[in-house]
Amino acid sequence: MDIKKIFVVGAGQMGNGIAQVSAQAGYDTILYDINMDLVNKGMAVIDKNLSRNVEKGKMAEDDKAAILGRIKPSVSLEDASDSDLVIEAIIENFEIKKKVFEQLDKITPPEAILASNTSSLPITQLAATTSRPEKFIGMHFMNPVPVMKLVEIIRGLATTDEVYNIIEDVSKKMGKVPVWCNDVPGFVSNRVLQVMINEALWELYEGVAPAENIDNIMKLGMNHPMGPCALADLIGLDTILSILNVMYEGYGDPKYRPSPLLRQYVQAGWLGRKTGKGIYDYSK
């Protein structure tokens, strides 16, 4: 099957990045969200990213225009009716994703592949909300999407080899390195990463050290590009809490219990960079 048209559901920080790399790879891309304001915000981020590449001399102005020209904004799921591949990147809530996939299952052609960028929800369970679990797969991009090389591909219980091979090929065309794993809570990436971030939040909660010191120790001592507190703010504290909850429930193991400080930040609406405040303050 030849993938030509990709429908991206969700124009937020992951969705707009996915639409950008999709259009850069030459795919006709549709960027959908529930209202035009959200779609326009996503398009503005893509425009800004591409403009930065033009300013740095890494991209021609014409190429930028061509990439933007390949992205069609949408506020109707019906626009997915002739798509070959859907990549969903909406809120990490099973019931909401289920509703969206149930609709997409009816709207898209029967041969279309349905992919989710979920950070932790079970791919097999999401696949079961559709009539085509064999054509369902996890395509887990990393933030910031245009920069990070990895796409973690998660194979659900029913995902066929043929579908896996197509998605591997699409990921490569997007300039990414696909690496597969099976469907377990947190997959490979977040099962490792979120335990580290959560431990940093326990340290902060216990007053072991301020966030700057925790980050500097991990950056300078472990050569991480950013410390766990700064990374938590980049990912979003609400996303981290939901991933930890999925693993806590999925494995029944207390090593995944979220730090009380993480819960409190989320209750306060301090979700990280996207709200201007998280562990650090971004208001200035």
Active site residues: 119, 140, 152, 190
> 12: closest CA among 204, 125, 144?
144
Nearer residue to ligand CAA within complex by CB, 112 or 178: 178
Instruction: Report the residue from 57, 110, 225, 254 that binds ligand CAA according to the rule CB under 6 A.
Output: 225
Tokens of 246: 């999925």
Assess contact for 95 and 68: CB atoms under 8 A.
Answer: no
Stretch that binds ligand CAA, among 59-67, 137-145, 164-172, 198-206 (CB under 6 A): 137-145
Please tell me whether residue 60 binds ligand CAA under the rule CB under 6 A: no
Instruction: Report the residue from 10, 42, 146, 272 that binds ligand CAA according to the rule CB under 6 A.
Output: 146
**Minimum CB–partner distance for residue 266 and ligand CAA (Å):** 15
Site for ligand CAA in 90-129 (CB under 6 A): 119
Give the pairing type, strands 5-9 and 150-155: unpaired
C-alpha dihedral sign at 58, 63, 68, 70: negative
Burial status of residue 278 (CB atoms within 10 A of its CB: 0-12, 13-18, 19 or more) = buried
**Minimum CB–partner distance for residue 258 and ligand CAA (Å):** 14
Assess contact for 63 and 15: CB atoms under 8 A.
Answer: no
Q: Please work out the total of residues on this chain that contact ligand CAA, with binding judged by CB under 6 A.
A: 18
- How far apart CA 175 and CA 73 sit, in angstroms, is 23
Please tell me whether residue 226 binds ligand CAA under the rule CB under 6 A: yes
Assess contact for 97 and 116: CB atoms under 8 A.
Answer: yes
Instruction: Report the residue from 1, 36, 60, 148 that binds ligand CAA according to the rule CB under 6 A.
Output: 148
Which residues make up the interface to ligand CAA (CB under 6 A)?
A: 49, 52, 56, 58, 119, 142-144, 146-148, 190, 193, 225-226, 231, 235, 239
